[in-house]
Every structure is written in C-alpha cells, then in structure tokens.
A and B are shown apart, each in its own frame.
Chain A
Amino acid sequence: METKKTGKVASFFRKLTGNHEISLALILILMFVVVDILSGGTFHTFGNITDIFRNNALTLLMSLGMLLVLLTGGIDISITGVLAFSGMTIGLMMKNNMFAGVPLPLRIVLFFLIATIIGTVCGFINGIIIAKGKVSPIICTLGAMYVWRGMAFIISNNSWASALDVQGFSDFGKEGSVGPYIILIVAFAAFFVLMKWSGFGRKVYAIGSNKEAARISGINVDRVQIAVYTIMGALSGLAGALSVSIYASGQPNMQTGKEMDVIAACVIGGVSMSGGRGTVLGTLLGGIFYAIVYKALPLVGLESIWQNLIKGVIILAVVVINVVTQRTMKRRTLARREI
C-alpha cells in the first residue's frame, strides 16, 4: 500500500517537473507571491498587472511569430528592423497629415493596416530568400535587419514623429485604453487554435521535427516556410504600429535589440532552438515570466541598471536547468529500462 502511495506521489512530482509549462507556471505563481510580499502588497493590483501586459505587448505579440519560426528550426532577427521601418513609415505619414480627412477610428485602422502590410511584404521577402534561395535564416534575417533598420533611418531623414504628430493615433495604445489588450487576446487565441487544431500548425511541427520526413510525406516545405516568415513579418509590422501607438512616438532607432528579448521569451517558454518543440501556452508564460522579472526588480529595491544583468542570468539559468533536467530524465528512463 505504502509503496503504491509513494509511487503515485513520485509520478505526480515527475509530471510536474517533466512538463515545462506546468513547472514554469508554478515558478511564475511562486515568484508573483514572493514579489507581492516583498513589495508590500502593491504588486497584485489590477493596474499593475495591466501595466505589465501593456509594457510588454510588443514582445508578447512578436514572440508568437517567433514561436512559429523557431518551430521550423529557423530564426528571425530582422523583426525589430521591420518594426522600425513600418512604425517609422506610418509615423511620418501622420507627421505629414496624410489621411487627415478620414475620421479617427477609421484612420487608426488604416494606419494599422498599412504597417501590417509593410511588415507582411518584408516577411514575405525573407521567406522567399530562405525557402527558395536556400540561404540560412540567421544570415538572411541579419541582412534584412540591417536593410530595414537602415531604411527606417533613411526615410526618417534625421527627423522623428513626436507625440504631437501621432496625436489621436496614440489614444489607441495610451494608458487605460483597451486596444493593446484586445490585440494580444485575439492574437493569442488565434495562434492557440492555429497551432493546436489546424493543418498548418501540424505541418509547422512536422517540418521542425524532421524536414526530410515532412517533405516525403507530402508537405510543401517551401510554402510553409514562406508562410511562417510572412506571418512573422506581419506581426512585426503590427507591432510597429502598436509601438508608435503605445509610446506615442516614432523614431528610427526604436526597440533596438528587442529581437533578443523576443527570442529569450520563447526559449524561457520551452521552445527549442532546433525546432519542433514548443507551444503557444509556453510562449505566453515565457513572455509573462520575462515581463514580471522586469517589473519586479524596481519593486524589490534593485535599480533599473541591474535589469540587464539579472535578465541575462535568468536566461542562462533557465536553459542550463532545462538541459540538466533533460539529462536526469533521460538517465532515469534508461535506468528503468535496465531493470
């Protein structure tokens, strides 16, 4: 009787530690409680939590596209370049009072649409070069990062869109507006369905696990790859518009280096860099984990200059812990087989 009970506990424990999402969620809850106590109960307020999501909306949004790209075994580091280019374009459009005659709600939609289309085109070009030109993803997107960031600087011509220029448009993303949350919720819901229950999602997983096997089983690998990078581009474009809206300004150097944050959020969420492993839920948790750490540091009493150091340590710790648990799990299953 007793051995059965301990066996049950052990298997329950194994389930907890074996599943990345569950263990991550537990760590998140634990961290949340600890930070809340340390900050004297100011952390779990509604305003603070919505703030966390608003400040990290861009990372969360783009991490969805990055999930797809990483699942196919690729990587996209051009996303912030695309973001800057599309954001700068609509910023300059607003500066020059384009579409000033269109009523405001429609104008907001229009600008979002333009930014998304620009992003989609950029992503499509990436996809074509990677899938048809057989260029390795990191090199292609590295080049694209330079090109689009440079284009953002060139079209801006040393000027930038100020808060006054983007007045009206910034109402969509300003504090207290529900706009960014709606975009996030819709995007996550759509991707959850897409990755779990659609043929396309299954194909992405298949390609990531084994490209050759996927090709032989009749999946058009090139087409899926192009689609994945195009989706990534579209999300980056959308994030460009969202960035202009939330931060009420458009600068050519906006969000520099953020692509690494996006990749880090995915990796913390359990997405494998070699492809084929990772879920939407994990990505969401990874993004939230990152966001909470960022928000919690000042509350715990560390100055903001410490943020990067802590961030780096967390990324390293997560990947190392992942490898160590995988090793022990493998050893355990091997030992069981021997018996």
Chain B
Amino acid sequence: MAGKSGRSIAYTPERSILKRILSWEGALVIIFIGVLVMGRIMSASFTPENVLREMPKYLSEILIALPMGFILIMGEIDISVGSIVCLSATVATFAGNAGIPFPVVILICLATGLACGALNGFILTRWPELPPMIVTLGTQIIFRGIAEVSLGAGGSASYVNSKDLDILGARLGPFPVAFFAVIIAAVIYIVVLSKTTFGRKLYAIGSNRTAANYAGIKVGKVRFIVYTLAGLMSAICALFILTTTYGANTTTGQNYEMDVIAMCVFGGIATTGGKGNLFGALIAGFTIVCLRIALGLNNINTQLILVIIGLLLIVSVLISSLTQSDFFKKRQLKKAAEKSAKKEAEALNKPLE
C-alpha cells in the first residue's frame, strides 16, 4: 500500500534531524527565513508591524490553498475557486447594501460559496469520467459570468456599510483577524489530513482511485465533500478580501486559482496525487505572502513576483523529480547494497575469529 503515497502504513522509518532538515518542509522553512532576512536587508521598513499590516491583502489566499491541497492530493484540480471568490464577494456586497444585518450577510456569502462548490462536486460525482480541469473551467467561466451579469455595465459595486466589514478587518493585538483565521483553518485541515480516516481516504484516492473504490471507500462522497469545502473556503476568503477592497468588481479573485495551486505545489504536493502534506503548503503560502510584501515595500515592479513564483514553481518540482530519477535511485541502491555487503562480510567474519 506504500506505492505512490510514499508512506508505508505499517512501518515508519526513523528520521534523523539531518534528514528532517533535508526534507522538503525543512528546506521550505529555510527558504522562508531566507525571504524574511532578505526583506529586512533590502528595506528598513520590512518590520514585523509593517508586514502584519500589509498581510491581510494577500493572506486570505492561503485559506483556499488548504482545500486545494486536498483536491491535489486526490490527483484532481479545481480552477474555479477564483471565480467563486468573485461571485461570493459580489453577492455579499449586494446583500450588505440591501440592508441585511451583517451576520446574515456572512451566512449568505458562505452559502453562495458552498452552493458553487457543491455544484462542482455534483457534476464531477454525477459524471465521474469527466476531467475536473474542464468541468471547473466551465464553472469558472459561469460563476464569473453570473457575477459580471449581476454587477451590470459598470462592472463594480462598493460596500456601503463599510463599518461592518471593519469588524472582520480588525486586529487582535498586532495580528489581523485574517491571520488567526488562517492559523485555525490550517490546524483543522492539517489534523484532518494526517490524523483522520478522511485524510487517509484522500491519499488512497490519489494513489489509485479504482483500488480505493474497491477497498470500500465512497469515492464520490469524498470528492463531493472536498469540492464543497473548496467552495466554502473560497467564500471565507471573499469575506476577508472585502475587508481590504470594500467592494467587488469583475476582476476580484482573478488568477487566485493559479496562485493557490502554486502555493500547494511549491509546498511539495504533487499534482499527480497521493503525495504531500499541508504543512509544506502552509509555509509555502506564507513565504509567497512575505515575498510579495517585501517586493511591495521596496517599490519593485510588483510583476516581478510573477517571474519569481513561476521560477520557484518549476525549479521546486524539477528538483524533486530529478532526485527521484533513475540516476539518483541507482546510486542510492548501489550505496545501500555496498553497506549491506559490508555488514554481511563482518557478520561472516566474526564467528571465525
């Protein structure tokens, strides 16, 4: 059952400290610290207070990265999340402007996201042979299309009662509320993925969907739940985005799906499924957020971040696929064989002495 998951269930090998550092998550932590140090060197205004103040602008994307990690671990993809953000932000704006009390607005926003995610899940489980990429491409265009139609010719709407939004945009001590939301959500998702049977099922489906089905896992049910979760988290993300933009327009949440997938992949989750964990994705998400803030504070052309994210993405995947290539494996096997031969020789020699 080890297979593609890279985790043997009956036996977990011991991991030395060196191996822990050399693992992908260890490397990510080092890169993260590197980014912080680099940001501090590049500009004096890269202080913890400034970083935390700038954070809410970018932080909420990490909320979507968590369910996206689930989807990628299942070996699938959802490119409609950005449009769900747009649609739920639009609906929330209209609801808020209609004079509905704020707690109900939040519920309406979450319900919108939930419904969008459930639609994805329904189509994909009703016709399981459809590729997720093309279905979510269709819903991506539809969700944004609904937002465009309801926003009308102007293409934007602003949230009138902005005081309500400040409740969510407030800070507890130095930390913005969004930060706590990300941490709490991350803890829940990480625990679900690594400590519950639901998480195990995700790995099983990602490793081999047919085998998982025959093993008694209700694949359709799991997929439906995960896609619905992605919709829900997108709606939560939309709420936090409203606290910084005070309104929605047709480009709200554009390209979020790509940013989020980049976070997950940079965090070590393979798009082929069955591999990776959310801890890596979380650190990768914070790394990208801090990189953005550092570049923004230095007035560097913010589009440079595109090139950096792109290169990070390609290089990180390239490294992991090269280390798993035949060349390296052969060398490792050879070393292991030499070692065991030595041991055997020693064992043979001992009784003779």
A residues near B129, Cβ cutoff 8 Å: 323, 326
A193 at the B interface (CB under 8 A): no
- Counting CB contacts under 8 A, is A216 at the interface? no
Chain B residues with Cβ under 8 A from A158's Cβ? Answer: 301
* Complex contacts, A267 vs chain B, CB 8 Å: 134
B138/A315 in contact, CB under 8 A: yes
Once the chains are docked, how many angstroms separate the CA of A113 from the CA of B256?
34
> Assuming A135-B314, A260-B140, is B146 touching A309 (CB within 8 A)?
yes
User: Are A273 and B138 closer than 8 Å at their CB atoms?
Assistant: no
**Interchain nearest-CB distance for B324 vs A (Å):** 8
Number of residues from B at the complex interface, CB < 8 A? 49
Q: How many residues of A contact B (CB 8 A)?
A: 48
Q: Is B138 in contact with A319, judged by CB distance below 8 angstroms?
A: yes
- Residue A232 at the chain B interface, CB threshold 8 Å: no
In the bound complex, how far is the Cα of B127 from the Cα of A326, in angstroms?
11
B47-55, B207-215, B257-265 - interface stretch: B257-265
Interfacial chain B residues near A307, Cβ < 8 Å: 145
Instruction: Tally inter-chain residue pairs, CB-CB below 8 A.
Output: 143
| Stretch from A1-9, A96-104, A142-150, A173-181 forming part of the interface with B | A142-150
Whether A142 contacts B321 by the Cβ 8 Å rule is no
B141 within 8 A of partner (CB): yes
> Nearest Cβ in chain A — how far from B56, in angstroms?
23
**A134 proximal to B (CB < 8 A):** yes
**B22 interface contact, C-beta 8 A:** no
Partner of B271, one of A139, A151, A312: A139
Determine how close the nearest CB of chain B comes to the CB of A297; give it in whole angstroms. Answer: 12
B225 an interface residue at 8 Å Cβ cutoff? no
B325 A134 Cβ-Cβ under 8 A:
yes
With most chain B CB atoms within 10 A of its CB, the pick from A157, A274, A323 is A323
B311 on interface, CB distance cutoff 8 Å: yes
A258 CB–B CB distance under 8 Å: no
A310 at the interface (CB under 8 A from B): yes
Q: Mark B131-158, 1 if CB is under 8 A from A, else 0.
A: 1011101111111111011001100000
Q: Which residue of A lies closest to B310 (CB)?
A: A146
The one of A153, A315, A326 that contacts B301, using a Cβ cutoff of 8 Å: A153
Q: Are A312 and B140 in contact (CB under 8 A)?
A: yes
Q: Does A140 contact B (CB under 8 A)?
A: yes
The answer to whether the Cβ of A306 comes within 8 Å of any Cβ in the partner chain is: yes
Complex Cα distance, B131 from A142, in Å, reads: 18
A311 at the interface (CB under 8 A from B): yes
Bound state CA distance, A177 and B318, in angstroms?
Answer: 45
Q: Are A146 and B317 in contact (CB under 8 A)?
A: no
Interface of B is mostly: helix
Contact across chains for A133 and B139 when beta carbons are under 8 A apart: no
Whether a CB of chain A sits under 8 angstroms from the CB of B130 is yes
B245 interface residue, CB < 8 Å from A?
A: no
Closest chain-A Cβ to B306's Cβ sits at a distance in Å of 3
User: Once bound together, how far apart are the Cα atoms of A306 and B153, in whole Å?
Assistant: 11
Does any Cβ of A come within 8 Å of B190's Cβ?
Answer: no
Across-interface contacts of B133 in A (CB, < 8 A): 75, 138, 273
In the bound complex, do residue B303 and residue A150 qualify as a contact, i.e. CB atoms below 8 Å apart? yes
Say whether A320 contacts B134, CB under 8 Å. Answer: no
Does A316 have its Cβ within 8 Å of any Cβ on chain B?
yes
Give CA–CA (A153, B295) in the complex, Å. Answer: 15
A260 touches B137 (CB 8 A): yes
Give, as a whole number of angstroms, the nearest-CB distance from B253 to chain A: 13
**A312 CB contacts on chain B under 8 angstroms:** 138-143, 145
How long is the Cα–Cα vector from A75 to B134 in the complex, in angstroms?
11
Which residues of A in the span 268-325 have a Cβ within 8 Å of any Cβ on B?
A: 273-274, 303, 305-313, 315-316, 319-320, 323-324
Q: How far is the CB of B172 from chain A (nearest CB, A)?
A: 34
**Partner of B310 from A144, A313, A315 at Cβ < 8 Å:** A144
Q: Does B9 contact A (CB under 8 A)?
A: no
Q: Is there an interface contact between B145 and A309, defined as CB atoms closer than 8 Å? A: yes
Of all chain A residues, the one with the shortest Cβ separation from B148 is: A305
* B106 CB–A CB distance under 8 Å: no
Closest B residue to A314 by CB, please name it. B138
Is A121 at the interface (CB under 8 A from chain B)? Answer: no
Contact of A136 with B by CB under 8 A: yes
Residues of B close to A310: CB separation below 8 A: 145
Tell me, in angstroms, the Cα distance from A261 to B343 when the chains sit together: 61
Find A129's partner among B77, B265, B271, B314 (CB 8 Å cutoff).
B314
Are B258 and A142 touching (Cβ within 8 A)?
A: yes
Measured in the bound complex, the distance between the Cα atoms of B298 and A84 in whole Å is 26
Is there a chain A Cβ closer than 8 Å to B305's Cβ? yes
Which has the most chain A C-beta neighbours within 10 Å: B141, B145, B146, B152?
B141
Interface set of A (CB-CB < 8 Å, partner B): 75, 129, 133-136, 138-140, 142-151, 153-154, 157-158, 252, 257, 260, 263-264, 267, 273-274, 303, 305-313, 315-316, 319-320, 323-324, 326
Report, nearest first, the 5 A-B pairs whose CB atoms are least far apart: A309-B145, A150-B306, A146-B310, A312-B141, A153-B303
Chosen A-B contacts, 6 in total, with CB atoms closer than 8 Å, are A146-B313, A260-B140, A305-B153, A308-B142, A312-B139, A316-B138
Residue numbers of B with Cβ under 8 A of A are 77, 123, 127, 129-131, 133-135, 137-146, 148-149, 152-153, 254, 258, 261-262, 265, 270-272, 301, 303-314, 317-318, 321-322, 325
